[in-house]
Amino acid sequence: MAHNPSQRWGRGRARGGAVARPPQRALDRHRLRHLLDAVGAVSTDMETRTVLHRIVEAATDLVAARYGALGVLDESGKVIDLITVGIDDPKACAVMGLPQGHGLLHTMVDDRESLRVADVSTHPRSAGFPPGHPVMRTLLGVPLMVRDTVYGDLYIADKMDGTPFDDDDEGLLTALASAAGVSLENARLYEHLKRAAEHFQRRMLPVLPDLAPLQAAARYEPASELPRLGGDWYDAMVLPDGATCVVVGDVTGHNVEAAPLMGQIRNMLRAIALDRCGPPDQVVSRLDRALTMFADLPTATLVFGRIERSGGEGGQYTFGWSNAGHLPPLLVGADGGTRYLAPARHGIPVGIEASVPRFSHKHPLPPCSTLLLFTDGLVERHDQDIDIGLDDLAEQAARLATAPLEELCDALISRSRQVFDDDVAVLALRTPSDGPAR
């Protein structure tokens, strides 16, 4: 006996050939899938404002509404920000200003309950629309809660098909708001951790001392994503023999262990340099031997150097350094000429093998020249060859050859992006003119 496939669902068409409504179970599955997709979209980012935008976008898409908005509240309940969807002209939003915290929208904040309005214009608490605001007829809103506190009011207006909002729409928006509250709380915790980690990292780095007659400036920028604790560092000090000691380094790894290891290696290197004042290769070799005290040897790349003046006042400055598996320093002349100090005898990172010999190198530092030491986060991108980043750095530094060092460091940090795959340390030093030492 043949079976009509439509009989599985009761019937495929109503009388007269009209298509019958899908079974309720199929509709429920569709709504659930749509809701899960919306929740997933909200949860893909960890920056608070991005999450807020995704909440509004997901709400309008979930219920197929023309307009959506989220009014962000401060602790007193005043609207301090408004994220909108469906109003294409950003100037219109600026002219309309923020909601004043009274009228129809504030009822959901006061009552902590959802709000559904079939005709906004006839509602007793409607305060009307400001000039330039799109006219909206129907409204559905829910309070957005974070840890039992109303963070804002989420509302949508006017469905695309012109029908009023119903119980299903309200249920979907309420469920989205509940999940969005969790995502928003996660985003806020994430940003709190980022700030705390960055503060901790910066506190571990030194304040540069007065290195006159040399000028000096330094910058540290943490990685954009957690964990923001990294192993990059810089340091500079005047040694007992009068030379200026400089170092930039990067501890292997990007986890929470890298930062304290960085502090230990930096302090050990400082102590060795102050105690011995020897050539750079000898100082780095002593550091290699000192690291053998660790049960699990930490490794790091670094450039350790001495800047000294030959023949007293009026003599030429010279940079002597030892490179332990690190990117080469960049020398920028006052005329904009650039050169990476990359001799052929390149050492391995410290902490690998204490018996491996180290090498010292020397290069003159002309008057008003700038020496840049930096970590790989400044030039390395996951989607390009590192040589491109090095060339870009040299070009930018050449254009700012005579700029104040603080300005130079700021420009190098922000020259091409706002997102850092790795943390960044930069140390810049500039020699004085041919005149006597200040």
Return d(Cα 10, Cα 6) in angstroms, integer: 7
At residue 294, the pLDDT reads 84
57 — pLDDT class (breaks 50, 70, 90): confident
The average pLDDT across 145-160 equals 84
**What integer pLDDT is reported at residue 18 of this predicted model?**
44
Instruction: Give the range among 78-82, 189-193, 209-213, 236-240 with minimum mean pLDDT.
Output: 189-193
The stretch 52-69 carries a mean pLDDT of 86
Examine the pLDDT at 385 and tell me if it is beyond 70.
yes
Q: Is the pLDDT of residue 347 over 60?
A: yes
Looking at the chain, the whole-number percentage of residues with pLDDT higher than 90 is 38
Of 328, 326, 358, residue with least CA distance to 343: 328
pLDDT of 97 strictly over 60? no
Question: Which of the four pLDDT bands, split at 50, 70 and 90, describes residue 2?
Answer: very low
| Residue 351: φ, ψ to 5° | 90, 0
Half-sphere exposure of 290 (CA within 13 A, CB side): 16
pTM: 0.60
| Strands laid side by side in the 115-117 sheet | 79-85, 65-73, 149-159, 139-146, 115-117
CB 45 within 8 A of CB 54: yes
113 pLDDT higher than 70? yes
**What confidence score (pLDDT) does residue 3 get?**
44
Per-residue confidence band for 192, with pLDDT thresholds at 50, 70 and 90? low
Among 28-37, 46-55, 362-371, the minimum mean pLDDT is found in 28-37
The model's confidence at residue 350, banded by pLDDT at 50, 70 and 90, is very high
Q: Which of 300-304, 309-313, 353-357 has the highest mean pLDDT?
A: 300-304
Consecutive H or E run containing 65: strand 65-73
Averaged pLDDT score across all residues of the chain: 80
Q: 190 falls in which pLDDT band (50, 70, 90)?
A: low
Range scoring the smallest mean pLDDT among 98-112, 318-332, 353-367, 398-412:
98-112
pLDDT score at 9:
34
Rounded distance, CA 140 to CA 130, Å?
A: 19
Q: What is the pLDDT of residue 177?
A: 82
Report the alpha-carbon distance of residue 51 to residue 41 in Å, rounded: 9
Q: Does the pLDDT of residue 102 top 60, yes or no?
A: no
Q: What is the mean pLDDT of residues 291-316?
A: 86
Tell me which of 148 and 335 has the higher pLDDT: 335
Is 110 a residue whose pLDDT tops 80? no
**C-alpha to C-alpha distance for 341 and 240, rounded to whole angstroms:** 26
Q: Is the pLDDT of residue 34 over 80?
A: no
The per-residue pLDDT for 8 is 34
Q: Is the pLDDT of residue 379 over 60?
A: yes
Answer whether residue 27 shows pLDDT above 60: no
